[in-house]
Structure 1
């Protein structure tokens, strides 16, 4: 019986590992190779999810706070903002000071104590209106609006952030200006004696105490807080008009027409048949609404300033909604 031969060992093929390349003396070490990109990993990273093969940098979801910080940075670093707001303060306080100095030599000013602040703010509001337009139209003029909307694709958030930042800034600056002007008028004109025939004047109701002209708490609130809200809303309306027109000169001209044309047109309506139209144009003009805050309305009751403020708020809200619709439904 023959014995079978022993099985022969068959060597298995083992893939050899590639040896790393040799480096010459003094040569910089080779950088480590990046791992291969897994399909879908880039999409997961953009969506803020960690890829299956490892971790990635965290992606922060943006919100309204980021947009507010961005808009605040833009509006405070532009020179036109500084110059426009500085001119607002200069006109409001400077003209108010000149007016108070001119009337301080008279025995009786013939109007409420804080009413002189209207004449400076009448010019100061034009600066706020111009700034409101430039907040949005300057980006359209330079093409920066494309970058803004790329960084924040939610266009409604961009417009809301611009409106909030601008409204807060314009209101604060106007409130500081009107408050300082009111203090100047109160210190320079409060010692004037009111004639007896003015005691029954409805325009001076609440402005006379012990025969002298005074300013009540309501007068202070109207001439400072109310007037500042009125001017800030006018600036916000200008921002909405600028968003609708997307052109600086056109939007500023439109807002100047809204503020000045009704009153100017009414001055040329001298016929009796146009009396009702003339009175309506004067009563509902923005300048008369601002004058009502200082208790010197051209037409209407002395205390109608807050009613006009509510009307302006409604018009501004409607214009802002229209601007939001145009921004979100049309291309840049």
Structure 2
């Protein structure tokens, strides 16, 4: 009786590899893509546009800027004595933007600090372990959203106000005044909101960060108003000169004093402060546990 023939040896599956190299020849069925800043930007854009806080804060911002701006234009146009022919008509948009800045501050803080409150930051850092990339993506997305919203709102108000005041003897703004009263103001407020985002990342507490930023906006001017003594005159003047409301008014050539920032100085000031705060937030983010 003949002995049974040995069966043909079967080839090992590709995933088993060989004895010398157990993973040689393995090919993952899932495509592996090296992540980059673009992926983080898409993620942050998805988050910022899908939460209701963005809709509410930006909605209230637009309502304040347009509502107060148009109301001010109607009141001034009905009384020709309110503005002289030498005044910049774009100044009437100041009040709505000043109140609207609180909305941008709130949204900026919530963009970072709210994730710590909900625990979502753990998922974010797991998906993108590069913490500096996460902070940069949040900053870029928020800045573009804040700048675009502010620019559109300020331009609409500016056109409406100049149209309403056209028959009241008020002069038309120059090109430089248009640039500062729309693009300049929008850059300033977007950077102020970005500073709030960075403060939210540093404190990791929404209520605390919002309170601090509102204090930064309002406290210097309010404190200066109660400094009556002559010995505090220099301190009082400095607080008024560098307060947020006064810096915002500089873009309309309507500063509260004659010794503080002028031209585009407020933009460089807030840019420098935001850059320093961003560097501090980046350093803390790398050292902290999530």
> TM over 0.5: same fold?
yes
Extract unaligned runs of 5+ from structure 2: none
Aligned to 2:49: 76
> Once the 2 structures are TM-superposed, how far is the Cα of residue 187 of structure 1 from its aligned partner?
0.5
CA distance change for structure 1 residues 143 and 303 in 2, over 3 Å: closer, same or farther?
A: closer
Flag the structure with larger Rg. 1
Aligned to 2:97: 121
Q: Distance in 2 between matches of 1:37 and 1:320?
A: 49
Per-residue Cα deviation, 1:311-330 (whole angstroms, up to 9, x for no partner): 11000000001001111111
For residues 250-329 of structure 1, the aligned pairs below 5 Å read 250-300=208-258, 304-329=262-287
Q: Choose which of 133, 138, 146 in structure 2 pairs with 1:157.
A: 133
CA distance change for structure 1 residues 273 and 150 in 2, over 3 Å: closer, same or farther?
A: same
> Once the 2 structures are TM-superposed, how far is the Cα of residue 301 of structure 1 from its aligned partner?
6.4
Kept after mapping to 1: 8 A contact 2:48/2:54: yes
Per-residue Cα deviation, 1:269-315 (whole angstroms, up to 9, x for no partner): 01122111111000011111111112211123698141011011000
Which structure: greater helix fraction? 2
Aligned to 2:65: 92
Residue aligned with 2:256, SS: coil
Q: Choose which of 118, 125, 136 in structure 1 pairs with 2:112.
A: 136
Q: Distance in 2 between matches of 1:190 and 1:302?
A: 32
How many pairs are equivalent? 282
> Once the 2 structures are TM-superposed, how far is the Cα of residue 52 of structure 1 from its aligned partner?
2.3
Aligned to 1:55: 27
CA distance change for structure 1 residues 155 and 39 in 2, over 3 Å: closer, same or farther?
A: farther
Aligned to 1:239: 197
Extract unaligned runs of 5+ from structure 1: 1-9, 19-32, 45-50, 194-211
Residue aligned with 1:61, SS: coil
Residue aligned with 1:116, SS: helix
CA RMSD of aligned residues (A): 2.4
> Once the 2 structures are TM-superposed, how far is the Cα of residue 11 of structure 1 from its aligned partner?
7.0
Kept after mapping to 1: 8 A contact 2:143/2:194: yes
Aligned to 2:160: 184
Residue aligned with 2:168, SS: coil
Kept after mapping to 2: 8 A contact 1:91/1:120: yes
Residues 175-184 or 302-311, more deviating: 302-311
Q: Distance in 2 between matches of 1:53 and 1:218?
A: 66
Kept after mapping to 2: 8 A contact 1:91/1:123: yes
For residues 33-52 of structure 1, the aligned pairs below 5 Å read 37-38=16-17, 52=24
Q: Distance in 1 between matches of 2:159 and 2:65?
A: 13
Q: Distance in 1 between matches of 2:222 and 2:240?
A: 9
Q: Distance in 2 between matches of 1:34 and 1:183?
A: 71
> Once the 2 structures are TM-superposed, how far is the Cα of residue 13 of structure 1 from its aligned partner?
7.4
Matched, 1:148 2:124: yes
CA distance change for structure 1 residues 270 and 301 in 2, over 3 Å: closer, same or farther?
A: closer
The structure, 1 or 2, with the larger RCO (C-alpha pairs under 8 Å, 6+ apart) is: 2
For residues 7-18 of structure 1, the aligned pairs below 5 Å read 14-15=5-6
With normalisation by structure 2, the TM-score equals 0.91
Q: Distance in 1 between matches of 2:140 and 2:225?
A: 36
